[in-house]
Structure 1
Amino acid sequence: MIVLKLGGSAITDKDRPETLDGESLETAADAIADGLRSGSASSLVIVHGGGSFGHANASEHGVTTTAGTHDVAAVHDVHGAMKTLNEFVLSRLVDRDVPAVPVHPFSTAHRDEAGRLVLPTGQVETMVAEGFVPVLHGDLVAHTGRGVTVVSGDELVAALALDLAADRVGLCSTVPGVLDDADAVIDEIASLEEVAAVLGDSDSTDVTGGMAAKVETLLELDAEASIFGIEDVSAFLAGKTPGTTVR
């Protein structure tokens, strides 16, 4: 079982609201289709981030993973933008004969009063068993006492990896891995303390925590995880460990 995240920054132009990076998305879709055809990625779940679709709208309405809203217009703006991006991703995959199907977290997940994410994964597991490729995405979710809050793609990846006992987890980003002070890729990370000094905030609007949050989330998983650039999706699906390995 492989859980692959396509970062929102990697498939959209995060500096221009609701703007797709079509070339990068096509590159990722080609790699996924090739991986399925070769049999190296026969059991695959995909998650994509919000990029300039989700983050821009969430920021405008002041909604984050902890700050909620009861504003119905905000719900429609943020969730609607994410459904639009999800359709772009699905269409590129289906065009390449990938049996991709949507799973919208807003309709399935929620947070309890303490903010813990509850994500039923039975439907995802059944979809995979029946030959489909579920495609989830960063979204809003109902949050007890706070209306709705954001659920990040990284949170979804962690929940799926744990519940589905994923063998491998991959995060595709705009960079070829986690970079040190000299912009060289760090081969392996075993603790957050090792890299805390070089992990900064996202350069673009990001309401979900940036690279530091990604590394912290991956360190909690049992599965081996990799952070890599869009050009290394093929290598990851082929069983290699491009970019930075997080153990």
Structure 2
Amino acid sequence: MPGLNHALRGVVYVKLGGSFITVKEKPVTLRKDALDAVAAVLKQVHGEVGLILGNGGGSFAHYAVKKYCVNDPVQCVVKCHQSTRLLNRMVVDHLVALGVPASSLQTSAIVSASPGGGYRVFPDPVYNYLSLGLIPVVYGECIPSERGYSVVSTEKVFELLAESIKPLRIVLVTDVKGVYTCNPYTCENPELIRRINSGNMEEVLELLSREEGRDATGSIYGKVKSMSALSRRIGVKVIIVSGFDQKGLADAIVKGEVEEGTVIEP
């Protein structure tokens, strides 16, 4: 990896889920307690591995997309950018105030829609952030295109960046321990699914399909499906863990192991 600090043992992608850092039922509301918890872990592991951080949209982006992205693509992009950058700035400002060397990296500046479909990625700014010892913070965004716009999730940003910067692993930070057989907040007997692989993938996706469509990027169904495909393609684990489990999160980032969480295997 050109220019990357060789003292680091590689790069880990860490996504702060929207349901973890925001109150989804209340538009434009940040969960500062969640950021406090994860900041302590980021300070602990920074320097042991390189970190590329991403934040989900939560009650900021999904609210804007649902409200404005109906008939007017220009207004959609404007409002989408306004809300996603607001949340990203709030997240970064909070982390910086707690001593985390995080710095925002505008997603639509490093990812652009290609004519005819697909995306082009410009990874040089990410290399430069990592080389300096910064933690770049990207985010899901509405990407303008010749056809209007595309809603690109944080997971999709990771997928695109991974073509140039292969991670050691990907860690998805949520407000629950991992992936469950049903919504742990609403069903009576949720069971934690500790491993997802080719042997049980179809069964898991069938269970999660009930949640599909709850937000602008496909909810947990879409996340598991896309991350499983990426895991297989690039040959790395995807670990889903609670951000309030600080030891578990640190182990997931540094060791690639977790006692209470879900591991998606290549």
- Among 236, 244, 248, the alignment partner of 1:223 is 236
Q: Provide structure 2 residue ranges, at least 5 long, that are not aligned to the other structure.
A: 1-10, 183-188
Q: Which residue of 2 aligns with 1:246?
A: 264
Q: Residues 139-178 of structure 1, C-alpha deviation per residue, up to 9 Å, x if partnerless? A: 111123x222211011012222332011111011222111
Distance 2:133 2:196 in 1: 34
In 2, the alpha carbon distance for the partners of 1:203 and 1:19 equals: 23
Please report the TM-score for the alignment, with normalisation by the length of structure 1: 0.88
- The answer for the alignment partner of 2:186 in structure 1 is none
Identity %: 28
Native 8 Å contact 2:212 2:220 kept in 1:
no
User: C-alpha separation between the residues in 2 aligned to 1:121 and 1:141?
Assistant: 16
Label 1:77 to 1:26 Cα distance change in 2 as closer, same or farther (>3 A).
Answer: same
2:172 paired with 1:171: yes
Match status 1:54 vs 2:56? no
Higher mean Cα deviation, 108-117 or 130-139?
Answer: 108-117
User: Secondary structure of the residue that 1:199 maps to in structure 2?
Assistant: helix
Q: What SS does the aligned partner of 1:231 have?
A: coil
1:9: how far off?
A: 1.1
Distance (whole Å) between structure 1 residues aligned to residue 30 and residue 213 of structure 2: 15
CA contact (8 A) 1:58 1:207 kept: yes
Q: TM-score, normalised by structure 2?
A: 0.82
For 1:87, the aligned partner's letter is R
Unmatched 5+ residue regions in structure 1?
Answer: none
Instruction: Tell me the alpha carbon deviations over residues 70-96 of structure 1, each in whole angstroms, 9 at most, x when there is no partner.
Output: 32x332221111111111111122123
The one-letter code of the counterpart of 2:48 is S
Match of 2:196 in 1: 189
Number of matched residues?
Answer: 238
The answer to whether the 8 Å contact 1:185/1:244 transfers is: yes
Between the aligned partners of 1:120 and 1:151, the Cα distance in structure 2 is 16
2:197 corresponds to which letter in structure 1?
Answer: A
The separation in 2 between residues aligned to 1:83 and 1:151, in whole angstroms, is: 14
Aligned residue in 2 for 1:160 = 161
* Bigger shift: residues 201-210 or 86-95: 201-210
Q: Cα–Cα, structure 1 residues 69 and 109, in superposed 2: closer, same or farther, change >3 Å?
A: farther
Q: Distance in 1 between matches of 2:133 and 2:48?
A: 14
CA contact 1:100–1:132 (8 Å) conserved in 2: yes
Give the aligned residue type for 1:30.
Answer: A
2:48 to 40, 45, 58: 40
Please name the residue that 1:208 is paired with. 217
Indicate the structure whose relative CO is greater, using CA pairs within 8 Å and at least 6 residues apart. Answer: 1
Please tell me the residue identity of whatever aligns with 1:16: K
Superposition RMSD in Å: 2.1
4+ aligned runs moved over 6 Å, structure 1: none
Distance 2:17 2:26 in 1: 16
When Rg is computed on C-alpha atoms for both structures, the one with the higher figure is 2
